[in-house]
Structure 1
Amino acid sequence: MKGLKMLKKGNVVAGLLLAVALLIISVGCSDASEKAVAENVDVEQLRNNPELGFAPLPIKFGETVGLVVHFNQGETLEHLKDLKNMGIKWVRDEEYWGGIEKKKGEYVWPAKFKRRLKFYKENGIGNIFALTYSANKNVYPDDPYNPEGFGRYAVAAAKLHKDAGVEFVLEIFNEPANFGLRKKYGGKWYGEPNCPWIDHYAKMVIESVRQVKAYDPNMKIITTDHWWSTHYWWLEKDLPKELDGFAVHPYAHGAGTPGPEIAHFGKDSSHAKPWTIMDDDRSNRSLMRRLRAQYAEKIGRPLEMYITEWGYALGRFKGKEWETTEDLAAALLPRVFINGVAAGARVVSWYCSSGDGTWGLIRDDQTKRKTYYSLKAMVEQLGDYQMIKQLVGMDGTTKGIQAYLFEGDAGYKLAVWNIEGPVEVTFDSGYPVPLKVYDHFGKALPFRYVKDGLPILKLDRAPIYIEGIGEYCLIEPLSLDKTK
């Protein structure tokens, strides 16, 4: 009876789906994901086939884990040790152009930044270096976003990182309509056919790529993000074929249910037109899949995708079911990373380490939020594993149970949750090894058994991590008969 009551607490639709569905899952790599990352990708297939939205790269999950840091904005360097403690493999760091080039052609990098680069090198941490923002007024008093000057700043950053021996990617600006370009040049925030700030950003991209590739063709350089539709507009400006990738910020707020799976707008929104930038399901995965297709079409080959910001500010939607409390943010954090990796991101960067109000993993008083421990546990649980398949949810990534299979030297591991909230299921691993279950903080979870010996697992919005599984898993709604 208890299991049935728990089922009723979940979303009604999800409960009905569970009640009629027996989810039998076989392990194996998806042909769809291989097609999605192939050099000769069929753009129209990628754009229109939802199965190709699942495209994890063949690397360990831990190699994708990134974090936005604010060391150039006053964050203490004491937090460097926290990067190592959490298992962070990438940061998104920056030093403003105007503070680096105070005299034309002279680039003076702060000692604290050089210290950070030394730490990154020693600890195997890569840097997505955001090239931000305007020039020093003494250098370009009337032209603060001079494309040629910005390109030289990009080359100076590339040289510094190369000399420091740090793996890096250059990200061209950050949210340009929010941070200066729209105010300077004008145009709609979401872009339009005649949008001066889009035109100018494209010039900055063209010049930055030209100069960086002339310095070293192996240096990676990517566009930034402002809004999904703005990518489509600046891709109309004949961006250079040497571009290596693009960044996205798939923030998902106000979707009606918490979670990174669902975008907070629909495909018919005015700012999305005239493009079809997402599927009818409003999934973030479809946004990323279609954008990957657009870049592949315009540049002529698939590009790397970097999620350089994604997170949750606490306190939003107060009084509603999906108010972003600290507990909820900690529950959603692993889903951000898992969904990003599933969509094909090379790096997923949580926003942020510290500062900027309630976004940070570490509070201003230096105490750690629950999101800190959730991230650390996620890396400990999944870092040495590679995502190989979505076992449950491929037919609907925005609702119901979602389960992802990982494989490592120690065998298989499953990350599973229910988008709508609490529900109880029986779980058959089909494997003689005893099952081990951990919550999103890495704490071992007890579970009871039904009459036929199958364990009962409680799923909720936070993922649980399951060890001791074999070549298939069977998840079944808890029935009244099995509790007798």
Structure 2
Amino acid sequence: MNQRRSLPAGWLAWLGLCCLVAAGPAHAAPERFEDTLCVTAKFSQGQPLSELPMLTDLGVKWVRDTVAWFDIEKRPGQYQAFPPEFQQRLDFYRQHDIGLVMLLAYDNPLAYPNTPAKPGNSADPVAYGRYAAEMARRLRKQGLRFVIELWNEPHNDLFHKFGGNWNGAPPSPWVDHYLRMVDEATHRIKLFDPSIRVITDDDMWVIHYHFLARGLTRQIDGFAIHPYTGGDIPELTAVTYDTDWTRPYQVVDPDRSFGSAMRRLREFGSQKLGKRPEIWITEWGWGVGEKSPLGPLSEEAVATYLPRAMILGAATGAEATCWFSTRDSVDGPMGLTDNNSRPRPAYYAFRDLHAKLGKARYVCPLSTQSGSGAAMAYLFRDAKGPLVARWDAYPAVQGAGKLSLERPATAPACARP
């Protein structure tokens, strides 16, 4: 459904990509790059718990995980203990100081069955709000860092239950229903503890604009996004500045750069919420064999995309960037490991990225150029001094856009907006 257009050739495309981050608002970045590193785990979908140590091997500081609502609330208002497998994961996260992005999804037809009179009863906003508050209380007692993510890609789920336009444009009853769920959950969580961070979710840029325009509660702390590109490079968005179904909003600059989409969403969110919203990238990845401008993506090509995506997330102010995912499970060849526990090249790329850049602090984008059209470069600094992360955004050969890390004698000048 995404309409795509090629970027204009030459220096305008390069200038937009390289300098866009500097044009955005100032961001109080995490102390170290590793503080933004996250994975979406598949332990709730069959990944064996024996693979929990992969998280420390990778060096992640956040993990996205979940337990089904109907496994906790089997009857209205009667909450069960956490399943032993989930409790074991929570213990591991706490012991290794890994923060939890707690996904609260999906509906609960066991405790709240749908009926002709109440066809949406399994996703009742009040029941969901009570459940969200209960989960917040339990997680606070666990003594680990966490943020609560309200639902997963509601346009792929609630849209089919409540109807309307899939892209969130009014009239869209599913958007109204989701916003009631968010309002109930956020209000109840904040009553319990105002410091608990709560975020909405969807994988289409424009849907967040419709949430905000339709009265998303100001109690919310921010948004979770899934900026999949349909096989294209991490530096670009899947939509263009004039994609018809994103109107009346322009969600990205004419250069189609990821950084401009982040900047625009943050600015619109600030306008509507009266504060700077957090942006969490809770899913981002590519599948082996996925179509790309240079042909089906190889495992090696996906491994070149990974460090670029993680650095772009940090450079544009994301609180965390969660690679999707730790294991293929039910979602096809998108895992750092396949379903036979074989690590893919992307696994080693992630581990290597943390080892070499994890302790560094992000500083700014740099202005550089390469013959192929767009060289991306970002300045970091660690205990040894400046460190430059550099790669070619448009390699002529698939998999050639590999990250290189250079340690200059003096720090290069930051790009000017």
SS at match of 1:309: strand
- Correspondence for 1:363: 338
Is contact 1:55-1:342 (8 Å) kept? Answer: no
Is contact 2:149-2:199 (8 Å) kept? Answer: yes
- Correspondence for 1:125: 98
Q: Structure 2: state its 5+ residue gaps.
A: 1-6, 116-120
Letter of the structure 2 residue corresponding to residue 66 of structure 1 = C
Whether 1:241 aligns to 2:214 is no
Whether 1:469 aligns to 2:409 is yes
SS at match of 2:218: coil
- Correspondence for 2:271: 297
Alpha-carbon shift at residue 276 of structure 1 (Å): 1.4
Is contact 1:91-1:349 (8 Å) kept? Answer: yes
TM normalised by structure 1 equals: 0.77
Larger Rg: 1
- Correspondence for 2:248: 274
Q: Structure 1: state its 5+ residue gaps.
A: 1-10, 34-49, 424-458, 475-484
- Correspondence for 2:234: 260
Residue-by-residue CA offset, 1:395-447 (whole Å, 9 max, x unaligned):
99x95111111011121111101112269xxxxxxxxxxxxxxxxxxxxxxxx
- Correspondence for 2:39: 67
- Correspondence for 2:131: 153
Is contact 2:167-2:206 (8 Å) kept? Answer: yes
- Correspondence for 2:51: 79
Residue-by-residue CA offset, 1:131-183 (whole Å, 9 max, x unaligned):
1010133434340110111111111211221111110000010001212x111
Q: How many residues align?
A: 396
CA RMSD across the alignment? 2.8
Whether 1:375 aligns to 2:350 is yes
Distance 1:315 1:252 in 2: 14
Whether 1:385 aligns to 2:363 is no
Distance 2:346 2:301 in 1: 9
Residue-by-residue CA offset, 1:4-24 (whole Å, 9 max, x unaligned):
xxxxxxx99569999xx9xxx
Whether 1:205 aligns to 2:182 is yes
Distance 2:111 2:412 in 1: 65
Alpha-carbon shift at residue 376 of structure 1 (Å): 0.3
Distance 1:293 1:402 in 2: 24
Distance 2:411 2:65 in 1: 41
Residue-by-residue CA offset, 1:357-388 (whole Å, 9 max, x unaligned):
10000111111000000000000111000110
Distance 1:327 1:460 in 2: 9
Alpha-carbon shift at residue 271 of structure 1 (Å): 1.3
Residue-by-residue CA offset, 1:61-101 (whole Å, 9 max, x unaligned):
00000000111111111121000111011000011112211
- Correspondence for 1:329: 302
- Which stretch of structure 1 is more off in the superposition, 330-339 or 220-229? 220-229
Letter of the structure 2 residue corresponding to residue 469 of structure 1 = A
Letter of the structure 2 residue corresponding to residue 391 of structure 1 = L
TM normalised by structure 2 equals: 0.89
SS at match of 1:407: strand
Alpha-carbon shift at residue 467 of structure 1 (Å): 2.5
Is contact 1:262-1:282 (8 Å) kept? Answer: yes
1:443-462 equivalences in 2 (<5 Å): 460-462=400-402
1:349-428 equivalences in 2 (<5 Å): 349-354=322-327, 355=329, 356-392=331-367, 400-421=374-395
- Correspondence for 2:118: none
1:86-165 equivalences in 2 (<5 Å): 86-108=58-80, 109-142=82-115, 143-165=121-143
- Correspondence for 1:166: 144
Question: Relative to structure 1, is the Cα distance of residues 368 and 94 closer, same or farther in structure 2, using a 3 angstrom cutoff?
Answer: same
Is contact 2:63-2:100 (8 Å) kept? Answer: yes
- Correspondence for 1:456: none
Is contact 2:75-2:110 (8 Å) kept? Answer: no
Whether 1:309 aligns to 2:287 is no
Distance 2:247 2:396 in 1: 37
